[in-house]
């Protein structure tokens, strides 16, 4: 029994290929039964997301299994093997285990640490489980992968910091204000980045969003989109003390918010902190504002800097995550190997037990007047002999099965005792 993983991801295939290779969820049942009907494939799970397609399967022969799965992916998507093979990767045994653990822990993701992949993997497994195409190995394997991912998430900070500018702004706000549920956000102007940040703020449960724009109708439209209120552009100064977070991105060549205005607002607010996010170039908010007590100003470069620190932090954490994974692979691989060796041990025992039984029967036929007690003694003595004879070979076989040539050793043992 061997674990193989065959697939492609954003690392090996451009989007032109990735969009051609998909396994839509609504047809998953058909795909799964097709996969597990193939020669030598006993269990299978198909993961299909926009950044990766992966088939995790249990096969009896590694090379044949990989070929079968490659053929399956090509045929299911009507794509030629010549093209597909350039982008497909395959991992087996320990490498395969490592790969799946890394994918589940989001170490192989485009944005390392992003949380979606784990959910997608759980869905893929759930699907396979419901369609009865997983067995003892993949069930244990995927549950292990999920628990490894959970360990990585809780024991490292891999996903604790934002790696996008718009989300970094929300996190900074949380470091300043703590709870955002009683905070009001003012959005000045429009623009993709600014609107994205505003959306993140709305999603993190702020109290209210106010929108203003030189063109008031545009402000009204945006306000409606966010479920907020539109504010007249001329009234910014008047209402400045009412808002905690100010997001600005206008095309104005001069500063829209001055130090004096913020000083006044802070005084009215009794120094309750204000957070300014200036995404505009040229800047909308006077940079001197950052020097005021209880006012915090971040421009686009500052936010970029925070994102970079976060990225570095994630990379450092990724190293810790790799260590956790390395520790877990060995354990699982060992279990998998004992699964391989178990049938051999069982047949070996059966073989010797058969010989013993035969000889005992012969012996008892010749010695008719033995008492029950004497019979018992013979039984236990012969049993003990077999156990002692088998003890060393079995424990050595277990050790040898755990090496790279494990299969070979198991095979030799079977031949030696003529078990097949």
Partner 1 sequence: MSHTLFRLTTTLYLLGTISYVVYLFFPKKWAYRTASVSLLAGFILHTGSFTSRISKVGFPPVTNLHDALSFMAWAVIGIYLLILLKYKIRVIGAFIAPLAFLLMFSAYSLPKDIAPLVVPYLKAFWLPVHIILVVIGNGFFAVAFAVAIMYLIQENQLKSKKIGKMYYSLPSLDILDNINHKALSYGFPLLTLGVVSGAIVSEQMRGGMLKGGMSELWTIMVWILYAVLLHGRIYSGWRGRKASRVSIAAFIILLVTFVGINITVGEGFRFH
Please give the residue ranges that form the binding site for partner 1 (CB under 8 A).
154-155, 157, 160-161, 172, 174-179, 267, 269-273, 290, 293-294, 296, 298, 302, 305-306, 309-310, 313
**C-alpha dihedral, 1 to 30 to 90 to 59, nearest 10°:** 10
Minimum distance of partner 1 from residue 320's CB (angstroms): 9
Residue with Cβ nearer partner 1 (308 or 342): 308
Minimum distance of partner 1 from residue 209's CB (angstroms): 20
Minimum distance of partner 1 from residue 256's CB (angstroms): 21
Residue with Cβ nearer partner 1 (270 or 388): 270
**Candidates 25, 37, 50, 416; catalytic one:** 50
Minimum distance of partner 1 from residue 191's CB (angstroms): 22
Minimum distance of partner 1 from residue 219's CB (angstroms): 29
Minimum distance of partner 1 from residue 104's CB (angstroms): 20
Backbone angle region of 204, left / alpha / beta, with phi > 0 → left and psi within -120 to 50 → alpha: alpha
3-state percent breakdown (helix, strand, coil) of the chain, nearest 5:
60, 15, 25
DSSP 234: G
- The tokens 């490292």 sit on which residue? 156
Residue with Cβ nearer partner 1 (269 or 356): 269
- Helical (H) or strand (E) element with 57: strand 52-59
Active site residue 194: no
Distance of alpha carbon 137 from alpha carbon 33, whole angstroms = 18
Closest C-alpha among 168, 167, 134 to residue 42:
134
Angle of CA points 318, 319, 325, to nearest 5° = 85
Alpha helices in 92-232 (DSSP H): 93-104, 116-130, 136-155, 165-177, 192-203, 216-226
**Long-range CB contact pairs, 57-63, < 8 A, 24+:** 57/3, 57/4, 57/5, 57/6, 58/1, 58/2, 58/3, 58/4, 58/135, 58/137, 58/138, 59/2, 59/4, 60/1, 60/2, 61/2, 62/2, 62/4, 62/92, 62/93
Number of Cβ atoms within 10 Å of the Cβ of 96: 22
Residue with Cβ nearer partner 1 (215 or 309): 309
Residue with Cβ nearer partner 1 (93 or 290): 290
Residue with Cβ nearer partner 1 (282 or 305): 305
Q: What residues act catalytically? A: 50
């Amino acid at each position: 029994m061997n674990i193989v993983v065959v697939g492609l991801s954003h690392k090996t295939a451009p989007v032109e290929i990735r969009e051609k290779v998909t396994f839509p969820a609504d047809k998953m049942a058909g795909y799964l039964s097709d996969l597990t009907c193939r020669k030598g494939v006993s269990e299978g799970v198909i993961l299909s997301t926009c950044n990766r397609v992966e088939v995790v399967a249990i096969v009896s022969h590694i090379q044949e299994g990989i070929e079968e799965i490659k053929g399956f992916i090509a045929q299911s998507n009507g794509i030629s093997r010549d093209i597909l093979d350039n982008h497909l990767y395959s991992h087996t045994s320990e490498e395969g285990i490592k790969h799946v653990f890394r994918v589940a822990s989001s170490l192989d993701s485009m944005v390392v640490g992003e949380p979606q992949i784990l959910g997608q993997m759980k869905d893929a497994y759930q699907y396979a489980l419901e369609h009865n195409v997983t067995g003892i190995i993949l069930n244990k394997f995927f549950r292990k992968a999920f628990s490894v991912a959970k360990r990585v998430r809780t024991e490292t900070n891999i996903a604790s910091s934002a790696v996008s500018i718009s989300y970094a702004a929300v996190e900074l706000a949380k470091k300043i204000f703590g709870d955002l549920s009683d905070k009001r956000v003012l959005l000045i102007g429009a623009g993709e980045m600014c609107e994205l940040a505003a959306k993140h703020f709305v999603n993190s449960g702020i109290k209210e969003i106010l929108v203003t724009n030189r063109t008031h109708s545009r402000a009204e439209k945006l306000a409606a989109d966010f479920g907020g209120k539109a504010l007249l552009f001329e009234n910014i100064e008047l209402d400045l003390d009412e808002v905690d977070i100010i997001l600005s991105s206008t095309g104005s060549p001069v500063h829209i918010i001055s130090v004096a205005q913020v000083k006044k607002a802070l005084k009215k607010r009794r120094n309750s902190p204000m957070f300014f996010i200036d995404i505009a170039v040229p800047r909308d908010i006077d940079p001197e504002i950052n020097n005021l007590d209880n006012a915090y100003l971040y421009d686009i470069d500052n936010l970029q800097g925070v994102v970079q620190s976060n990225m570095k932090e994630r990379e450092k954490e990724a190293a810790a995550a790799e260590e956790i994974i390395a520790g877990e692979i060995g354990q699982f691989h060992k279990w998998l190997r004992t699964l391989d060796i178990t049938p051999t041990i069982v047949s070996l025992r059966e073989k010797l037990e058969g010989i013993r039984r035969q000889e005992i029967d012969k012996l008892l036929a010749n010695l008719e007047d033995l008492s029950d007690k004497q019979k018992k003694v013979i039984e236990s003595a012969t049993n003990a002999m077999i156990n002692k004879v088998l003890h060393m070979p079995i424990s050595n076989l277990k050790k040898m099965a755990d090496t790279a040539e494990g299969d070979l050793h198991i095979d030799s043992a079977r031949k030696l005792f003529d078990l097949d």
